[in-house]
Amino acid sequence: MRAGAKEPMKRLVIAGLLAGLGLGVPGGCAVNPATGEQMFSVMSPGEEARIGREQHPKLIKAFGGRYDDRALGDYVTAIGRRLVAVSELPGPGFTFTVLNSAKVNAFALPGGYVYITRGIVALANSEAELAGVIAHEIGHITARHAAQRYSQRVAAGLGLTLLGVLTGSGDLVRAAGTGAELYLRSYSRRHELEADTLGIRYLRRAGYDPGAMAGFLANLEAHSILEARLAGNDTARAEGTNLLSTHPRTIERVRKAAQASANIVVKNPIVGRQAYLGRIDGMLFGADPAEGYIRGRLFAHPGLGFRFTVPPGFRLVNTRARVIAHGPGKSVIIFDRAGKPVRGSLVGYLRRVWARGVALQDIEPLTVNGMGAATGRVRLDTRRGPIDARLLAIRYDADKIYRFVFITPAALTRKLAVGLRRTTYSFRRLDVAEARRLRPRRLRIHRVEPGETADGLARRMPFAEFRRQRFEVLNGLSPGAKLTPGRLVKIVSDG
């Protein structure tokens, strides 16, 4: 049997088995116009479109809504349509959306829905680089990867069920399930590389520099390393690298994308760096102000009217549901709001609601800057050794209770106690003057003047650490690169 014939044969065997038992599925095998390969699918193009329509508004809501910049949205849509026009599915059936998220991400839903975050818009340094991101997502859609992944799961699930019926062995089904999951995940890994190949094809056809994809992926790798360092890990990358990762390491994709584009010649390719930077000048950078502000060790939320600080050595991360601070030795501070109004005493709330069933010790009422509060602690045994957790509930007003959980390895509890106690009493109402001084961070485009250096421009950005590396990653620069007068660069400023 030829290498490569195994998987199509496996799909045909599964389809035949289902049909023979009266469990035939729609779709079957067809040649994919984008990849030229036979694909097994139980999801029709009409079903893909329906799924996309249903999930589209839910996904927008989950990622903070659309970014409120119509001109940028129209620009991204124009790039997307130019690429779609040279794909195997030309036509008006695609929707392109810029999401109001600082995360560096892009993805697609079946049925022609493509999403990029403003975080990835900020990281790109030219129209060609952003076009490479969009082309990759279009590749997922034209190759019908969502349909293939779904069909593989359906086939694997039904196949395992039949295996259990025929053998009467639930243990065998569970054991085979691990292999099926591995197969599905590795298949997704291949999809990523296939989408890169298709994306480079669309870049070339549309007249863009096909090497822009490799350039952006290299910068994405640098961004991943920076994120890991900011999280306190100098060696690991933010992206998963184990065998079961659904995406290949960025560096592998860089190599393959560079190889794929090396011999492609495009006459007068579109790069569009200067025009692109002009488009994103003034764009919101980082967290949306509606979600609060992180300023060093300070978290402040003008809309909700409070602020607090975390101890030195802790790094704040803001999510939609909670604020998390990571500290020494895997110590963590978690801050959120109670889901429902709390009546009665906060001591009772700790015992009977929040920590119900937990043997809290040293429960006591407190007053925090004029607000009623209660705290208690518990020691827990974990695989990493004993940890201490202190719970703190603060009544902000009649309807709102804010909560802290301070988690420390038992060996560090005493050392960190003073700093965490200061965090407790740093929580207070935010006054009007403080709220007015907080301004959102924005991208600004700067033309390098003679004598200006990367270090000097990096020092102008409002960050406390890794400023030089942040500047280099933001601008796609190699470490230690020198700046040329007249070059346009991105910097971040408050307001």
Q: Are residues 397 and 266 in the same domain?
A: no
| 157 three-class SS | helix
Percentage of the chain modeled with pLDDT above 90:
56
Of the three residues 437, 463, 483, the one that is the final residue of a domain is: 437
Lookup: tokens for 487: 């070059």
Q: What is the pLDDT of residue 319?
A: 84
The reply to whether 357 and 254 lie within a common domain is no
| 335 inside domain | yes
Can you give the CATH number for the domain in which 487 is found? Answer: 3.10.350
Q: Which residue has the higher pLDDT, 45 or 229?
A: 229
Query: In terms of C-beta density within 10 A (0-12 exposed, 13-18 middle, 19 or more buried), how is residue 48 classed?
Result: buried
- Whether 159 and 216 share a structural domain: yes
In a domain, 64, yes or no: yes
385-395 and 401-409: which strand pairing? antiparallel
Residues 6+ apart with CB under 8 A from 165: none
Does the residue 293 lie in any domain?
yes
Answer whether residue 236 is part of any domain: yes
Asked whether residue 253 falls in the same domain as residue 114, the answer is yes
Which position has the higher pLDDT, 194 or 134? Answer: 134
Indicate whether 148 and 168 sit together in one domain.
yes
How far from 309 is each of 11, 125, 227, 420, 428, CA to CA, in Å? 56, 34, 22, 10, 10
Contact 202, 258 (CB under 8 A): no
What percent of the chain is modeled with pLDDT above 70? 77
- Of 279, 297, 328, which closes a domain? 279
180 pLDDT exceeds 90? Answer: no
pLDDT at 475 (0 to 100): 97
Shared domain for 208 and 327, answered yes or no, is no
Out of 43-57, 339-353, 420-434, pick the least confident.
43-57
At 46 the pLDDT is 82
The residue among 253, 272, 262 whose CA lies nearest residue 128 is: 272
Both 155 and 53 in a single domain? yes
Residue 239 has a pLDDT of: 44
333 and 464 both lie in a single domain: no
Beta bridge partners of 436: none
Q: Is the pLDDT of residue 140 over 50?
A: yes
* Same domain? 346 vs 229: no
pLDDT tens track for 315-339: 999 888 899 999 999 999 999 999 8
Shared domain for 411 and 476, answered yes or no, is: no
Q: What are the structure tokens assigned to 113, written together? A: 């829905």
Last residue of a domain, one of 414, 437, 460: 437
Q: How far apart are CA 359 and CA 140, in angstroms?
A: 51
- Is the model's pLDDT at 167 over the cut of 80? no
The two most distant CA atoms of the chain are separated, in Å, by 78
- At residue 183, the pLDDT reads 32
pLDDT tens digits, one per residue of 68-117? 999 999 999 999 999 999 999 887 889 999 999 999 989 888 889 999 99
Give the CATH number of the domain where residue 380 resides.
3.40.1000.10
pLDDT of res. 31: 64
Domain identity same for 449 and 386 = no
Within-domain flag for 249? yes
Model-wide pTM > 0.75: yes
Residue 11 has pLDDT above 70, yes or no: no
Tokens of 36: 């030229």
Distance (Å, rounded) from C-alpha 467 to C-alpha 209? 30
Listed residue (46, 37, 312) closest to 190, CA to CA: 37
Assess if residue 284 is contained within a domain: no
Query: Which structural domain, as residue segments, surrounds residue 123?
Result: 6-279
Q: Are residues 265 and 316 in the same domain?
A: no
Q: How many domains are contained in the chain?
A: 3
- The answer to whether residue 220 is domain-embedded is yes
Most confident range, picked from 17-26, 97-106, 249-258: 97-106
pLDDT score for 182: 34
Indicate if the pLDDT at residue 312 is higher than 90.
yes
3-state secondary structure of 354: helix
Mean pLDDT of all residues in 232-250: 49
